[in-house]
Amino acid sequence: MRETIERFLARDAGEREFQQAVREVLESVEPFLARLPQAVAEGLLARIVEPERVISFRVPWVDDRGRTCVNRGFLVEMNNALGPFKGGLRFHPSVTQSILKFLAFQQVFKNALTGLPLGGGAGGADFDPKGKSDAEVMRFCTSFMRELYRHVGSRVDIPGGDIGVGAREIGFLFGAYRRMANRFEGALTGKGLAWGGSLFRAEAAGYGCVYFASELLAAHGLGLEGQVCLVSGSGNVAQHTAEKLIQAGARVVTLSDSSGHIYDRDGIDEEKLAFVKHLKNVRRGRIHEYAEKYRSAVFVPVDPAGDHNPLWAHRADCAFPCATENEIGEQDAYRLINHPVKLVCEAANMPCTPEAVQLFTGKNVLFAPGKAANAGGVAVSGLELVQNSMRLSWAGEEIDARLRLLMKGIHRTCLEAAESYGSPGELLRGANLAAFEKVARAMLDQGVV
């Protein structure tokens, strides 16, 4: 089977992130594949690594000075065996087809773990919302939707938010969709509360991660109270991970953005977090301002020549990477192990490199894989769609209670799959095996299509 996997990977040479995500999943599902006849397994693999379709398009727009700008947009529709395509839209200058294929591939299995009838996809553009006026972001979103509206819809493909796509962008995108399609329907998630959005959607990915981490710690007789936690990022997922950690009695000491990180020796409390939310969500400022406001904090800028991220060098019990892919490399992992950390919980998608993951699992660090731990975000997006189709909205407490139960259920599913395939306690293997088996069985039931 290894040979077959390598043959498929070779076809996407150059798509580094996609290869990384595919390799991780396929290597852990070998015990499932081994139970299938060779030809069936090969046919399944060939289909599962190939997106249903990839749409690549030009996004022209005019900036505030009247200049024409052109960005590159993509929609990756990876797999819809379990339901309509669903995944995040990312607006960031680093966006490439490889990054969106990796996100879409992961999303297929993450969505399967939620138990909701959702396939997997992703989309986005190499557009940088940073430093743009609201009017520029709106013109960009309108132009982006000019292509997207042909492909999305509540039964076809339902994008949500990801890096660079939050409430403001979803608003502009939805407005453009409604006008172009002449339909008001749940074709996007992350919508405003007054126009079809769900309570707790903004909090869901971060809160869900902390619920997952609590389950994992509790299974080992541990809790979050009093634990020193490193959190990276300062966007949607980081803010709500930090918020729930603070509520659980943990001591959050770091946050970051792409310019560097802050370390607060007194810990970040609710009032300081409110400052961060205003700084990031309203003023759209940079994280160094935190250290200018609070004397207990220092700002450490990114060192582009460094071989590690100094954020992970602060002594701590738990690490919650909430920014982006491959933000914890081998050198960071060594430092974390030396603290020693008890738990690494992937709140971002694929934030740990394969080398780092191997080190954590080899050193008995409790490791929560992203496709399980951060599934709360898309799960509440799924609940938003249910509310849209029923034309009702649930109370916040109800959604939060469902989210808690869901994260508990995903943790149990991963554990049981790991156990039944002979790798007890290995959550990453368990997550991949449980999710892959579900998607694979649906594909086999539905024939070669």
Q: Give the residues lining the site for ligand NDP (CB under 6 A).
A: 88, 92, 94, 161-164, 166, 205, 233-238, 257-259, 322-324, 348-349, 374, 377
Tell me: does residue 162 bind ligand 2IT (CB under 6 A). Answer: yes
Tell which one of 119, 124, 160, 206 touches ligand 2IT (CB under 6 A).
160
Cis peptide before 37 (omega within 30 of 0): no
Q: Taking the complex as a whole, how short is the minimal distance between the CB of residue 78 and ligand 2IT, in angstroms?
A: 13
Q: Taking the complex as a whole, how short is the minimal distance between the CB of residue 87 and ligand 2IT, in angstroms?
A: 5
267, 293 contact by CB (below 8 A) = no
Q: Taking the complex as a whole, how short is the minimal distance between the CB of residue 161 and ligand NDP, in angstroms?
A: 5
Whichever of 171 and 260 has its CB closer to ligand 2IT, that residue is: 171
Q: Indicate which of ligand NDP, ligand 2IT, none lies near residue 87 (CB less than 5 to 8 Å, by partner kind).
A: ligand 2IT
Whichever of 86 and 101 has its CB closer to ligand 2IT, that residue is: 86
Q: Taking the complex as a whole, how short is the minimal distance between the CB of residue 412 and ligand NDP, in angstroms?
A: 20
Closest CA to 132 of 160, 98, 172: 172
Tokens of 185: 């329907």
Residue nearest to ligand NDP (CB): 235
Whichever of 177 and 200 has its CB closer to ligand NDP, that residue is: 200
Q: Which phi-psi region, left, alpha or beta, contains residue 234 (left: φ > 0; alpha: ψ -120 to 50)? A: alpha
- Interacting positions 198-257 with ligand 2IT (CB under 6 A): none
Q: Which residues contact 364 (CB under 8 A, 6 or more apart)?
A: none
Q: Which residues contact 49 (CB under 8 A, 6 or more apart)?
A: 8, 12, 22, 26, 105
Helical axes 97-114 vs 396-420, angle rounded to 10°: 90
Q: In what helix (H) or strand (E) does residue 89 lie, and over which residues does it extend?
A: strand 85-91
Q: How far apart are CA 101 and CA 50, in angstroms?
A: 10
Tell me: does residue 321 bind ligand 2IT (CB under 6 A). Answer: no
Q: In what helix (H) or strand (E) does residue 99 lie, and over which residues does it extend?
A: helix 97-114
Where does this chain touch ligand 2IT (CB under 6 A) — which range of 80-88, 216-224, 322-330, 440-448? 80-88
Closest CA to 205 of 95, 40, 322: 322
Tell me: does residue 189 bind ligand 2IT (CB under 6 A). Answer: yes
Whichever of 71 and 324 has its CB closer to ligand NDP, that residue is: 324
Tell me: does residue 108 bind ligand 2IT (CB under 6 A). Answer: no
Tell which one of 51, 73, 87, 430 touches ligand 2IT (CB under 6 A).
87
252, 319 contact by CB (below 8 A) = no
Tell me: does residue 79 bind ligand 2IT (CB under 6 A). Answer: no
Q: Taking the complex as a whole, how short is the minimal distance between the CB of residue 322 and ligand NDP, in angstroms?
A: 6
